[in-house]
Structure 1
Amino acid sequence: MISATRTWFKRNRANFAIGAGVIGAGYVATQYVLSKVTETRQRMSDERIAKENLRRRFEQNQEDCTFTVLAILPTAVENIFEALPVEQVLEELQTQRQERLAKSVGGGPSEVSTADIASAPPSLADGGDDKSLASEGFIHTSQMAESSLESPSPSTPRTKMNKVQLWNEVKISSISRAFTLIYTLSLLTLLTRIQLNLLGRRNYLASVVSLASPAKQDSRINLENREDDNYEQAYGNDFETNRKYLSFSWWLLHRGCKDIMEKVTAAVKEVFGPLNPREDITLQRLSELTVLVRKKIEGVTEEDRKNQKWLSFLLPPNSEEDYVLHAAGMSGPTEISATTSPALRRLLDETSDLVDSPPFAHVLTLLLDSAFSLLIDTKIATLAYKIPPPSASGARVVEIVGPGTGVKTKVASTLATFSRQAYSIGSGGNNEYLTTMEGVRDLEAFAAVVYSSNFEFEAPEAAASLAADAEEPVGGDATLVDVGEIEAASDLEKAWTNALAKEDGKSVTQ
């Protein structure tokens, strides 16, 4: 029996070998498939975790942008209020009115300045505007206190103006101040988004590389600072560079806002100059004049707005960069060429590219649209024209502002609202104008483009290569903009298009 069994195995050994081979191959294939499935599942899990981590970092970064804007906005507001002291002019108006009343009571009507009355329009000669200051709510007690702090010293000479000139000054200053604050807030919002998202991108990349690097087995303490092992420094994520880069917002807060104010004031004088403070004006007419001011500042056509250059308001020229760092307390008076750091230079050049890009102009226009709509269509309409907001009674709003009705109010009433809203626009606390701007979805898309683009240039090798290229003379002073301006612009356009497409897809699915 044993020999028969041995004979049977010999006769069927080929079949056994084939069967064993098939079973072995099946086992190996099964294990391979299972390992691939496990690997794919792990990779998907890692990608999901990475995306969630990136999303949380991005959202936290946007919250930091909001807090940063609210923290540094009062600096620009102080400079603008000091340059356009509406409350101080109003105090002078009230002082002149009290003097005229005292003269009229003490010496009769003949002692009142006839030149003042003769030069003033009939509607201004009766002093009705001065009496309406309190009823219009033009100035609060707290604002009076602030204006007294901002008023120049008694030794400062001031040209004596009559009543008409003072009212014209109130008109121009009130409107210009509100408009200037809107432009400053919009530009500061975009600049802060660019700065913090550029730094956030570098922080994220440095943290990813640090986590992906192998852990050191040597537990000994080494006091030597080895740059090769310092991923934070290698990827440009050093505290000193970041601090200097963020300090460049000083230019907008102290210089840029004043340049904007000059441009806005010139446009307001040209458009609103002929208006009489006691003249009746409709909300539609006020909106048309506001749009006309914006066209003179931003451009008439879409192409003009796209080509409008805002960089000079946001960042200083190269010759002023060291001065800005010194003024912001980032460098000593004897320190020379503080911006020669390749990492800082690259951050400033990329910021300049982003500011000069068409997406920046597009988003800025949308932010200004939202802020001016809140000011004119909501605040002025509600407070000056007594029109209920749309949420209160949609049918009533249509009935009031519809064609043929033409609700009117005094220009002085709108000036009162402009003056009060300046404090809301410049508020460093609960700022509804900033909240409205952050509701513009294209702002988040723009921030996402800044945060997620140009990762390849953050590697130390790429940064060194670009810095070396930037130092080569190419027809003058070469910067990173000169090296890859066309490619960077096209990449930004592609990223911007993709970001907007994703936002559109979200809105459709929601």
Structure 2
Amino acid sequence: MIAATRGWFRRNRTPLTVGVGVIGAGYVVTQYVLGKISAARERMSSDRIARENLRRRFEQNQEDCTFTVLALLPTATDNILQELQTERITFELQQQKAAKLARDGEPHPSELGSGPPSVTDDDGRSMASLQSESGVHASQMGIPSATSAGDGPQDGGQQAQRLRRTKVQLWNDLKISSITRSFTLIYTLALLTLLTRIQLNLLGRRSYLSSVVSLATGGMEQSTITLENHDDDNPDQAYGNDFETNRQYLTFSWWLLHRGWRQVMLKVEAAVKEVFGSLSIRDEISMHKFSDLTLQVRMKVEGATDAERKAGRWLEFLLPPKDQEDFVLKESGMTTESSSTAASGNTPLRRLLDETSDLIDSPPFSHVLTLLLDAGFSTLVERKVSEQAFKIPPTSDVPDLNAPRITEIVDVKPVRLPAVLAILSRQAHSIGNGVPNEYLQSMEQVRDLEAFAAVVYSSNWESEISPMNEESSALFTQEDGPAGPEIVAADSGSNAGTGQESIVDVGAASAFESAWGKAVDHGAEPVSS
């Protein structure tokens, strides 16, 4: 039997060899495929976790931006309200009116509305309307009463003419001041919102890249990128590994809060005088005309065409010139020994300031700023002024910023100009100190603002990686893909001591404008969806 078995194996040697080879090859291929499938699953799981981590970090960054704007805005508001004291002008007009009533022997200002209409009565009603609707009484200004305004020798017609001329001048000052103040606050709020988004997203990008580089080089024991910064536990880990540089960089918002707003105000004031200067305080104004005049002011400040708006330069309002950078650091309390040279040379602070300047001078910045201003002025003109001055009922609790309704209303009754000025005077306080701030909320509803923040968060990765860790920069590659940071792969099986591989897809186009276009097209999907 043994001989027969040997003979059978000898006769079927070739088929048996082929069969064993096929089975062995099949086993090897099966194990290889199963290994690849397992690795792919781990890679997909790591990619999903990394995307979720990145999305949460980005969203947290945007919430930080909102709170930061709300914390900084009162500083600029106080400066603007102190410079444009509309309530003080109102008080001076009330003093003049009280003095005239005392000379004429009239009993009390409350009786201004009695009797036949006259120029004097119109002024009294305008003043009463301004005082009642603005919500700020002149006595709240803390100005002592000047009851002696009407004392002294009366010079008949000459004194009346001089008084009338002064009154007209005060009314004109009140008109320019109230309009300029509310418009300046909207511009300041929009600029502060964009500057804060740039600053915190640049630092958020540095923090994220620092975590990735530490993970790639084995500097972190855990196998995932940390979400929390733990600022209170370890300040050196806040927004990267250079807390002092980050602190100095953030203090450059001081320029807008203490210097830039004034330049904005002067620019807005010149446009307001040119557009609204011809209006008399006794004129009636329609909603459509006021909206049109507001648009004319914006065109003079921002530019009349799309090309002019893109060519507009807002850098001088947001950041100081280089020869004033040390002054800003000193005024904001950065008086360390290294502060005088921190913003010079090839320091991290210098790179952050240069990149911020490039972002501010880019066309996408002007585009997003225009959209933010559209939202702010829409809230002021098409909601507050229309509803409170022209008594136009709101169409919805949640306004559609892309569907203006005021221009479609042609049968709204005109109102006296002081009624509009009263609303603007009151809204100035809401723009700067409103809780909740409806103007900031309307600006944050602009979809392109998040796209802009996503581009800032994800652009210029290569130059940021190199200063952090030149040895780790080889781990980062540039592949085709949508704009935005994306973790493509993380080899969890590699030894932490030899470096954990991590590939970051930063998008094929490194130019800011190209990344901006992709972010708008995709709605910033890599970080916000």
Q: Name the TM tier (shorter chain).
A: 0.7 to 0.9
For residues 227-271 of structure 1, the C-alpha deviation after alignment (integer angstroms, 9 at most, x for no partner) is xxx9x78x9631001000000000000000011001111111111
The Cα shift of 1:389 comes to 1.0
Query: Structure 1 stretches of 5 or more lacking a match?
Result: 108-120, 152-159, 218-229, 466-487
Matched, 1:455 2:461: yes
Taking a change above 3 Å as real, the CA distance of residues 356 and 216 of structure 1, as seen in their structure-2 partners, is closer
Letter in 2 for 1:148: G
**Is 1:457–1:463's contact at 8 Å kept on the other side of the alignment?**
no
8 Å CA contact retained: 1:449, 1:495: yes
Task: Check whether the contact 1:366–1:440 (CA below 8 A) recurs between aligned residues.
Answer: yes
1:426 to 425, 432, 437: 432
Contact 1:184 1:260 in 2 (8 A): yes
Aligned residue in 1 for 2:129: 132
Q: Does structure 1 residue 172 correspond to structure 2 residue 176?
A: yes
Query: Which secondary structure does the structure 1 equivalent of 2:415 belong to?
Result: strand
1:417 equivalent in alignment to 2:414 = no
Per the alignment, residue 286 of structure 1 pairs with: 290
How far residue 64 of structure 1 moved from its aligned partner, in angstroms, is: 0.5
Using a 3 Å threshold, how does the CA distance of structure 1 residues 391 and 324 change in structure 2: closer, same or farther? Answer: same
Cα distance, 1:139 vs structure 2: 3.4
Quick one: structure 1 residues 140 and 49, their matched pair in 2 at CA, closer, same or farther if it must change by over 3 Å?
Answer: same
* Equivalent residue for 1:350, pick from 332, 350, 355: 355
2:390–2:413 CA contact under 8 A, matched in 1:
yes
Residue in 2 aligned with 1:110?
none
Do the aligned residues in 1 keep the contact of 2:390 with 2:412 (CA within 8 Å)?
no
What are the Cα deviations for residues 443-485 of structure 1, in whole angstroms up to 9, with x where unaligned? 01100100111111112358989xxxxxxxxxxxxxxxxxxxx
Whole-angstrom distance in 2 between the partners of 1:263 and 1:389: 32
Q: Secondary structure at the match of 1:127?
A: helix
Structure 2 Cα separation of the partners of residues 362 and 399 of structure 1: 23
Deviation for aligned residue 1:361: 0.4
Give the C-alpha shift of residue 3 in structure 1. Answer: 1.9
Q: Within the alignment, does 1:198 sit opposite 2:202 as a pair?
A: yes
* Structure-2 change in CA distance of 1:36 and 1:381 (3 Å): same
User: Contact 1:190/1:364 (CA < 8 Å) preserved in 2?
Assistant: yes
Supply the AA of the counterpart residue of 2:212.
V
Q: Which amino acid aligns with 1:266?
A: A
Note if contact 1:367-1:437 (Cα within 8 Å) is conserved in structure 2: yes
Matched-pair contact (CA < 8 Å) for 1:70–1:428: no
Q: What secondary structure sits across from 1:435 in the alignment?
A: helix
Where does residue 295 of structure 1 map in the other structure?
A: 299
Q: Please, which of 376, 389, 406 is the counterpart of residue 384 of structure 1?
A: 389
How far apart, in 1, do the equivalents of 2:131 and 2:170 lie? 17
2:96 aligned residue:
96
| 1:162 CA displacement | 2.1
Distance 1:61 1:334 in 2: 28
Once residues 308 and 40 of structure 2 are traced to their aligned partners in structure 1, the CA distance between those partners, rounded to angstroms, is 51
Tell me: CA distance 1:456–1:368, structure 2 relative to 1, closer, same or farther (3 Å): same
The amino acid that maps onto 1:129 is S
- Greater Cα shift, 385-394 or 196-205: 385-394
Aligned residue identity for 1:432? E
- Is the CA contact (8 Å cut-off) linking 2:342 and 2:349 kept in structure 1? no
| 2:296 corresponds to 1:308 | no
Shift, 1:387, TM fit: 0.7
**Aligned residue for 1:214?**
218
Query: 1:331, CA displacement in angstroms?
Result: 1.9
**Normalised TM-score (structure 2):** 0.77
Partner of 2:271: 267
TM-aligned CA distance change 1:404 to 1:346, over 3 Å: closer
Q: Is the 8 A contact 1:181 1:426 kept in 2?
A: yes
Give me the whole-angstrom Cα distance separating, in 1, the residues matched to 2:386 and 2:249. Answer: 41
Cα distance change of structure 1 residues 504 and 34 upon mapping to structure 2, 3 Å threshold: closer
3-state SS of paired residue (2:282): coil
Q: 2:334 aligns with which of 306, 315, 330?
A: 330
- What do residues 108-134 of structure 1 show as CA deviations (whole Å, max 9, x unaligned)? xxxxxxxxxxxxx94677533233334
1:438 matched to 2:444? The reply is yes
Counterpart code for 2:183: F
User: Between Structure 1 and Structure 2, which shows a larger proportion of helix residues?
Assistant: 1
Contact map agreement 2:210 2:468 (CA 8 A) in 1: no
Check 1:98–1:239 CA distance in 2 against 1; reply closer, same or farther (3 A cut): same
- 1: CA distance, partners of 2:13 / 2:398: 93
The separation in 1 between residues aligned to 2:100 and 2:291, in whole angstroms, is 36
Corresponding residue SS for 1:459: helix
Q: Is the 8 A contact 1:73 1:428 kept in 2?
A: no
- 1:144 Cα offset (Å): 5.3
Between Structure 1 and Structure 2, how many residues are aligned?
445
Taking every aligned residue pair, what percent have the same amino acid on both sides?
Answer: 57
Cross-structure match for 1:244: 248
Which residue of structure 2 lines up, in the alignment, with residue 118 of structure 1? none
Aligned to 1:67: 67
What stretches of structure 2 of length at least 5 have no aligned partner? 108-117, 146-162, 222-233, 472-507
Matched residue type, 1:339: A
* Distance across 2 between alignment mates of 1:401 and 1:407: 14
Structure 1 residues 62 and 133, CA gap change in structure 2 (3 angstroms): same
Tell me the distance in 2 between the aligned counterparts of 1:448 and 1:400.
Answer: 33
1:502 aligns with 2:522: yes
Taking structure 1 as the reference length, what is the TM-score of the superposition? 0.80
Counterpart residue identity of residue 275, structure 1: L
Read off the aligned partner of 2:129 and give its amino acid letter. S
